[in-house]
């Protein structure tokens, strides 16, 4: 077999899925790649064909396969994952892996996806799973770029599931071959700037993007729906970004209220940890997101707006705004790079033009609540010990505010080591 062929890992429990793994291996070979089967089985078995045996994987994690057989299922899975992530990521770091594909049911999907999440963005990844259409996909994939393929039936060999597995294998193989063919290419990229976005801040985002691109930057937008914020933080920590214009920090409101667009407690920390220049705006923090008909009981007396058939927005109150001010300050105080905070005093989102309602759809009042929003800026200024805070007499979607954001960003990135035209790692 030609050593020039890119290698694709097959992540699978060989005690239950050996025939399927060997079938996928044959598909990968026909598609021009070298399969590398990594056995994730939790205990010794008699199946053969793995290139990296379960015993080897267990040992990489500091255990023996016999030890795992004595553990409960969760502990054994954790031990195998430790070893598998080490060997798979190690092979990638050594330049000997161009993609990965997983096969399995619920447990196999959990393990294979955890391993693939440890690989960088843009490394081809696919999961052929019996649970690909369930709500748990958001946990399997998280912020990673794993393509989920439904196995249709359970993962076994028949004409339907074989076709599903072959489709996934051919797709990964094609992407791996394409990636390998470009490995030797060198290309200068403009510095990549992240902007967080949302429908309610689109006026600001669109203008800021156009202005930055006119200045020679490349822009990547992240939709502030939980996964977007996690992806932004990950790219910042992986060294792919030159700076962040965090216009839409809405996900921190959902973090505070347990809304459905929560990006986790690490939101607003990645750029600071890496010393990246950042301009931060309280964009769309004036509401939380819940699925329609599923507002928690403790919030049933609050002010709402039904945004669409799926999304119910809850107006942020003064107590939550103060908590957000402290949360922003805590995260930004730890930043190792320059920080500017810009606050639009005339409103944090397009929803300031709307009314608020109770859950029975009775009108309650105006969405625009300057006194409520002031709790955020007041608490932020009381607790922030780094950077600067500038309050502007603008709405977030006014052109003047977007212009001010871009001007502030150009200042902070110009003051950062390397100046405004230092390319990112992308």
**pLDDT interval class at 418 (50, 70, 90):** low
- Of 96, 122, 71, the C-alpha closest to 9 is 96
**pLDDT interval class at 416 (50, 70, 90):** low
Question: Helix, strand or coil for residue 400?
Answer: helix
Residue 408 has pLDDT above 80, yes or no: yes
What's the rounded Cα separation, in Å, for the pair 77 and 55? 13
For residue range 124-183, list pLDDT tens digits in order.
999 999 999 888 888 889 889 999 999 998 999 999 999 999 999 999 999 999 999 887
Token code pair at residue 110:
């959990």
For residue range 224-283, list pLDDT tens digits in order.
999 999 999 999 999 999 999 999 999 999 999 999 999 999 999 999 999 999 999 999
DSSP per-residue letters across 130-191: TTTTSTTHHHHHTTS-PEEEE-SSSSS-SHHHHHHHHHHHHHHHHHHHHHHHTTT-----PP
Question: If phi over 0 gives left and psi between -120 and 50 gives alpha, with beta otherwise, what is residue 300?
Answer: alpha
Question: Helix, strand or coil for residue 376?
Answer: helix
What's the rounded Cα separation, in Å, for the pair 405 and 128? 44
The pLDDT value given to residue 415: 63
| Neighbouring-strand partners of residue 282 | 248
Report the range of poorest mean pLDDT among 18-32, 129-143, 316-330, 333-347. 129-143
Give how far Cα 424 sits from Cα of 192, 200, 219, 235, 241, Å. 6, 29, 12, 11, 5
Domains (range + CATH), the chain: 7-181 (3.40.50.12020), 192-415 (3.40.50.12030)
What's the rounded Cα separation, in Å, for the pair 376 and 329? 10
The mean of the pLDDT values for the chain is 93
Q: Give the DSSP letter of residue 128.
A: E
For residue range 394-403, list pLDDT tens digits in order.
999 999 999 9
**Which helix (H) or strand (E) segment is 9 a member of?**
strand 7-12
Average pLDDT over residues 89-99: 96
Supply the pTM of this predicted model: 0.85
For residue range 186-196, list pLDDT tens digits in order.
678 899 999 99
């Amino acid at each position: 077999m030609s050593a020039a062929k890119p290698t694709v890992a097959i992540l699978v429990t060989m005690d239950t899925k050996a025939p399927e793994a060997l079938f996928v291996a044959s598909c990968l070979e026909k598609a021009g790649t070298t399969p590398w089967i990594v056995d994730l089985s939790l205990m010794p078995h008699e199946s053969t064909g793995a290139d990296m045996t379960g015993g080897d994987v267990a040992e990489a994690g500091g255990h023996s396969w016999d030890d795992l057989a004595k553990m409960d299922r969760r502990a054994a899975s954790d031990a195998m994952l430790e070893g598998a992530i080490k060997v798979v990521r190690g092979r990638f770091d050594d330049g000997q892996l161009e993609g990965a594909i997983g096969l399995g049911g619920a447990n196999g999907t959990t393990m294979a996806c955890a391993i693939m999440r440890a690989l960088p963005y843009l490394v081809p990844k696919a999961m052929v799973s019996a649970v690909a259409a369930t709500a748990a996909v958001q946990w399997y994939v998280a912020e990673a770029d794993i393509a989920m393929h439904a196995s249709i039936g359970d993962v076994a060999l028949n004409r339907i599931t074989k076709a599903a597995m072959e489709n996934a294998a051919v797709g990964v193989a094609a992407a791996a071959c394409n990636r390998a063919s470009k490995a030797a290419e060198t290309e200068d990229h403009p510095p990549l700037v992240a902007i967080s976005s949302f429908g309610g801040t689109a006026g600001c985002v669109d203008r800021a993007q156009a202005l930055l691109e006119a200045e020679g930057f490349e822009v990547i937008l992240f939709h502030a729906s939980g996964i977007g914020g996690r992806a932004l933080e990950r790219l910042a920590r992986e060294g792919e970004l030159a700076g962040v214009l965090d216009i839409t920090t809405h996900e921190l409101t959902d973090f505070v209220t347990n809304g459905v667009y929560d990006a986790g407690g690490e939101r607003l920390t990645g750029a600071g940890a890496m010393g990246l220049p950042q301009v931060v705006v309280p964009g769309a923090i004036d509401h939380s997101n819940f699925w329609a008909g599923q507002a928690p009981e403790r919030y049933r007396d609050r002010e709402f707006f039904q945004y669409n058939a799926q999304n119910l927005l809850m107006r942020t109150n003064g107590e939550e705004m103060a908590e957000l001010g402290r949360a922003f300050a805590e995260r930004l105080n730890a930043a190792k790079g320059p920080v500017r905070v810009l606050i639009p005093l005339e409103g944090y989102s397009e929803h300031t033009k709307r009314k608020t309602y109770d859950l029975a759809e009775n009108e309650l009042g105006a969405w625009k609540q300057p006194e409520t929003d002031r709790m955020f800026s007041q608490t932020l200024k009381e607790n922030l010990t780094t950077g600067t805070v500038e309050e502007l007499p603008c709405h977030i979607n006014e052109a003047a505010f977007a212009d001010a954001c871009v001007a502030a960003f150009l200042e902070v990135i110009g003051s950062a080591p390397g100046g405004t035209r230092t390319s990112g790692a992308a």
